[in-house]
Homo-oligomer: A and B are copies of this chain.
Amino acid sequence: MVEGSKETLTNDHHGWLKAKAWKLHKKMVELLNNATKVGKDDPRRIVHSLKLGLAITTVSLFFYFEPLYDGLGASSIWAIITVVVVFEFSVGATLGKGMNRAIATLIAGAIGFGAHYITSFTGNIWHPILLGILIYTISATASYCRFFPKLKAKYDYGLLIFILTFNMVALSGFRDDEILKLAWHRLANILVGAFIAVAICIFVRPVWAGADLHQFVATNIENLGTFLEGFGIEYFGACQGEMVGGGNVMKYRSVLCSKQNEEALAYQATWEPPHGKFRLCHPWKQYQKIGTLSRDCAYCFEILNLYLNTDQIQLPLEIQRQYQEQCVQVCIESSKALKAMAKALRDIVPPALAKSHIEIAKKTAGELKLLLASSHFHGDMNMVSTTTLILLLIDSFSCVEKIVDSIHELVSLARLNTALQKSDVTPTEQKGSGDKASSQPHHIVTIAQSQFAE
């Protein structure tokens, strides 16, 4: 009996262990799958991790023979801290953080030394009081500055480091000559750390925020094009045979929330030296303009998408025949124009075919409006719903037109910039191309309405 229960206990224990092991095994597999997915989504992430490891190991071995926490109070530790904190994914982010840190350290060090020097002349009673007032005032002011939108966008990290360094220097209990020696040691260590971080970031398979932004905006434009193509095919059933993948069609949704990412990349790109196709003073701000227009277009698509998602709305065959051809043409030609523009943007070359696609789409949209204006609706709600859809489609096309114009402008600016830096072009040409581009955009509804008035 006792042996039996013992056996049961052992069996239970075995079962429990087995279940635990199985659970652990499942968790490990899930973790591994996750890790593989993160790497597959963007293989540069793996490279980045290896690069950071390399940077830290390099700076570590550099200091291996001069043990940390030795000599002048742990100066060499700052080289490691600098590498870990400054090393970011893209070159622009690394340079931005590095410059912020270096400049803030220098300024704060100087002011902190000044505060320390001035208060050191006062007596034992006044010294802590004066120092306290200085620390309070300067810390609070610098902290308040972090709320200024312009400073926050570019120098938030610098202000943090300023507060940190200022207090560290002002509070140090050293004599003046010691402080200068310490400052020199620390600065040298920070420079070594920053140099190693920046060098590895730039020279070992660099990731350029500028190139990323360029790619990101171009991909977004392409996704908008894919949606229009898919919408034309799926909704109006242009060619039932060749369906586009549902997942690809929905990719435009990432455009809706692209603002933050674009802003961050555009900020980082301004810190980067010329690289690849991108010369000094590349018009990075224009990308944000295109981004805003893309989002406006995506908002339109959100409404169109409602029509796509509900199976109940099916056009009666009669109506379908009446408008199908024109609607599909507007969708397909707009989509082709967007895709051509995305390609032109990618290569920074003047778009070859986009113009003609836009012309065809524009002509067809005009025809659609005339067709709508001449048709008689006898209280048919399906027809009303279709009209809504068609007018939304025309609105979307106007958005597409604006995007095409602003990419045109960007490409001309970028090419002019390149040409100017090769000193081949006179500045008058710049003005001309800018005017030409900016004279094209129109307001969405203005177009639609001006044609209604005709």
The chain A residues found within 8 Å of chain B, CB to CB, are: 34-35, 38-39, 42, 45-46, 48-50, 52-54, 56-57, 60-61, 63-64, 67-70, 73-74, 77, 80-81, 84-85, 128, 131-132, 135-137, 139-141, 143-144, 147-149, 160, 163-164, 167-168, 171-174, 182, 256-257, 259-260, 295-296, 299-300, 302-303, 306-307, 309-310, 312-313, 369, 372-379, 381-382, 384-385, 387-388, 391-392, 395, 443-446, 449-450, 452-453
Would you give the shortest CB distance from A295 to chain B, in whole angstroms?
Answer: 8
Whole-angstrom CA separation of A305 from B73 in the bound complex? 63
Would you give the shortest CB distance from A28 to chain B, in whole angstroms?
Answer: 15
Contact A372 B381 (CB under 8 A): yes
Whole-angstrom CA separation of A143 from B160 in the bound complex? 23
Whole-angstrom CA separation of A356 from B212 in the bound complex? 51
Q: A46-B144, A376-B378, A376-B379 are in contact. List 12 more A-B contacts (CB 8 A).
A: A49-B141, A60-B132, A73-B74, A74-B74, A84-B160, A84-B163, A306-B445, A310-B443, A310-B446, A313-B449, A375-B379, A381-B452
Contact B60 A167 (CB under 8 A): yes
Whole-angstrom CA separation of A375 from B313 in the bound complex? 21
Contact A140 B53 (CB under 8 A): yes
Would you give the shortest CB distance from A35 to chain B, in whole angstroms?
Answer: 7
Q: Which of chain B's residues have a CB closer than 8 A to the CB of A137? A: 53
Would you give the shortest CB distance from A178 to chain B, in whole angstroms?
Answer: 9
Would you give the shortest CB distance from A187 to chain B, in whole angstroms?
Answer: 16
Contact A445 B260 (CB under 8 A): no
Q: How many copies of this chain are found per oligomer?
A: 2
Closest to A70 in B: B173
Whole-angstrom CA separation of A168 from B81 in the bound complex? 8
Q: Which of B140, B377, B384 contacts A49 (CB 8 A)?
A: B140
Contact A303 B306 (CB under 8 A): no
Q: Which of chain B's residues have a CB closer than 8 A to the CB of A77? A: 168
Q: Which of B50, B84, B168 contacts A68 (CB 8 A)?
A: B168
Q: Which of B50, B167, B310 contacts A84 (CB 8 A)?
A: B167
Contact B445 A307 (CB under 8 A): yes
Whole-angstrom CA separation of A56 from B138 in the bound complex? 11
Closest 7 CB pairs of A and B: A67-B173, A53-B140, A49-B144, A377-B377, A53-B136, A49-B143, A69-B73
